[in-house]
Amino acid sequence: MHEIKGYPNATCDAVMALNAEYRWGLTGTPTPNGIEELYPYLSFIGHPKITTIREYRKEYVGGKKRNVISEEVRFERLRELLAPVMIMRTPSHSFLGTTLLRLPVGHPLPPIKVQLSPEEKIIYRFIDKRIQDHTEKKATDKGRDMDLHMLNESLVRLRQCVTCPLLLGNLVREGFWNADGIASMRQQALEAGCQNTPFIDHIERWMLSTNIRQASTPSGSTLQEKSIADAMALLDTSTCPGNKCGQVITNLIEPQMSECGHVWCKSCLEQQIKIENFLDEKKPPECSRCRKPLGQAKPYSAAEHSGEPSGAAPTSKRRQGDDYNGKQPRSSNMVDLLDRDPTLKVPRSAKVDAVVRQIVAWLNEAPEDKIIVFIQWVELNGILGRLLQEEGIEFLYYTGTTEMKDKDRKAAIDTFKQDPYVKVLICSLRCGGQALNLTCANRTIMVDLWWNHSVEAQATARVYRMGQQKETYSVRVIVEDSVDNRVYELQEKKLQSLQNAYQEFEADKNLDTETVYELLGWQHSEGETLSDEDGLGDDDGPDDPNDSEYTD
């Protein structure tokens, strides 16, 4: 039934055209866009008081489309409309004093609250400021206030940043980082007493290793002084077969081994030294792969060094990040770069580290239990997968990406249910949040919060449902003093304000402009309005983790 909620659409039109004497509908999916989504359900069953969507909005929603905050939803009218035709039941309901569904005890645990590392705080503040400046300028160029789409894009990037800075590859490509930005963050890290800066190091490493010849500032102008574009102009890779220096040891021209152990074409090594001297004349040139000093290079012979590590990615059937079935969704270019050098490890953000620690703790506590990890960002699959590999924990992916076909998703679910050796399923929140029965697992971790609590509840219901034989445990991971914490507070505020089931429908609707500003922590002018054209779509909104516009 929920497939017709996005009225109007082709599916809805086809269902409405069905010939039937009696009609009824059943859905276990919440209404993430509020009570307006009840319209196609009521229209389908032929409710006598339902005519057009315009009249429905006028009589019950309290305004035009999503601009409903100026008028209260007519809950009393809505109750009179729905009471004769709708019944709503949850596992907590009872009939004649008997619980409708007896399930083992569910344990919704207190959220795991973590603080960003000093380095992550520096990156977060940098990104927040740059995104706000960029969004404001973009709105000014268009001659209007920031619309909801712009604000949601900003919100997505900040939420990715608090999850893991390695998810921000698109921002690097778009020029939000340049050599000056890296230098500024390094200086702040030094002043903050950071001993290590793995994320800043790797972002710089990735920028220098790409074939991007030009970067742009958020204002659109080409970077000039000490820019990555200028540095890359020094690197002529035309003589290097496949531009693989520092990664593989075959087909290199006059191969040279630097003191860090990586092998280069002689000319490429000389150009790498030029780049390093260009960026910082006072510091010894460093390897772009491991950031160790290049030192004095010497000729390399494969025969003489056959037993030594080459810096090449391991050549085994199962690649870095592959799951138990040998599958892997697309990973970010920054993560791919880590795979090319076995001396590099995936840096752990505060949130990702908390997730991995919780998985390890649960498996030590209950080795026979299985765990589902719900995420929103596609590239986070590979990051978590690689870290679970480091811990020796077998896992599977379940996503809606094109890399996973229907047969792959079916195989993942079948293996997860049947193979006792596989303990963890990394699952897309929106892809795995409905139509799945996963009672083989009894523990869930919510990595990325959704402002609609019902979407999270729908996901955790994959394990807390009929057929579950064990007590269940669910936990969320929240980064304090960030956009993450504000999303959590929004959830709690919505839940506390609910007085009846009808208000729950409305509480789940997508965010309005005022709320997005609040989540971002930005100020905006009084009286700002939002046109219908600027609003979210009826389904996932722009914050859809499987939307390529918002993934790296």
For the ranges 3-12, 44-53, 121-130, which has the lowest average pLDDT?
A: 3-12
Question: What's the CA dihedral at 426, 429, 431, 436 to 10 degrees?
Answer: 80
The percentage of the chain sitting over the pLDDT mark of 90, rounded to a whole number, equals 27
Residue 457 has a pLDDT of 82
Q: What is the mean pLDDT of residues 15-27?
A: 89
Closest CA to 25 of 15, 34, 17: 15
Residue 514 has a pLDDT of 67
Tally Cβ neighbours within 10 Å of residue 132: 17
pLDDT band, residue 534 (cuts 50/70/90) = very low
Residue 412 has a pLDDT of 94
Question: For 133-150, what is each residue's pLDDT tens digit?
Answer: 877 777 676 665 556 676
For the ranges 292-301, 366-375, 420-429, which has the lowest average pLDDT?
A: 292-301
DSSP 549: G
Is pLDDT larger for residue 61 or for residue 223? 61
Per-chain mean pLDDT for the chain = 75
For the ranges 27-41, 109-123, 403-417, which has the lowest average pLDDT?
A: 27-41
pTM of the model: 0.70
Strands annotated E in 94-149: 94-95, 98-99, 106-108, 112-114
Question: For 440-451, what is each residue's pLDDT tens digit?
Answer: 999 999 999 876
For the ranges 142-146, 158-162, 359-363, 489-493, which has the lowest average pLDDT?
A: 142-146
Q: Is 283 exposed, middle or buried (0-12, 13-18, 19+ CB in 10 A)?
A: exposed
Question: For 164-220, what is each residue's pLDDT tens digit?
Answer: 999 988 777 777 777 788 889 999 999 998 888 999 998 888 887 664 433 333 433
What length does the chain have?
552
Please tell me whether residue 459 adopts helix, strand or coil conformation: helix
Residue 490 has a pLDDT of 77
Tally Cβ neighbours within 10 Å of residue 83: 10
Please tell me whether residue 500 adopts helix, strand or coil conformation: coil
Q: Is 384 exposed, middle or buried (0-12, 13-18, 19+ CB in 10 A)?
A: buried
Residue 497 has a pLDDT of 55
Highest mean pLDDT of the ranges 237-241, 263-267, 512-516: 263-267
Q: Are 305 and 257 in contact (CB under 8 A)?
A: yes
Taking every pair of Cα atoms in the chain, the longest distance, rounded to a whole number of angstroms, is 86
Q: Which domains does the chain have, with CATH numbers?
A: 1-87 (no CATH), 167-321 (no CATH), 349-481 (3.40.50.300)
Q: What is the mean pLDDT of residues 303-332?
A: 65
Residue 504 has a pLDDT of 54
Strand partners, 443: 371, 473
| Per-residue pLDDT at 152 exceeds 80 | no
Is pLDDT larger for residue 437 or for residue 508? 437
Is pLDDT larger for residue 470 or for residue 37? 470
Residue 188 has a pLDDT of 92
Question: For 535-547, what is each residue's pLDDT tens digit?
Answer: 333 333 334 433 3
Write out the two tokens for 123.
Answer: 């990156």
Residue 524 has a pLDDT of 57
Please tell me whether residue 96 adopts helix, strand or coil conformation: coil
**CA angle 362–363–367, rounded 5-degree value:** 125
Residues 6+ apart with CB under 8 A from 57: 36, 63, 64, 65
**CA angle 506–509–511, rounded 5-degree value:** 130
Residue 211 has a pLDDT of 44
Q: Are 376 and 448 in contact (CB under 8 A)?
A: yes
Residue 265 has a pLDDT of 78
Tally Cβ neighbours within 10 Å of residue 157: 22
Closest CA to 379 of 336, 413, 425: 336
Q: Are 264 and 246 in contact (CB under 8 A)?
A: yes
H-type helices in 210-307, by residue range? 228-233, 266-279
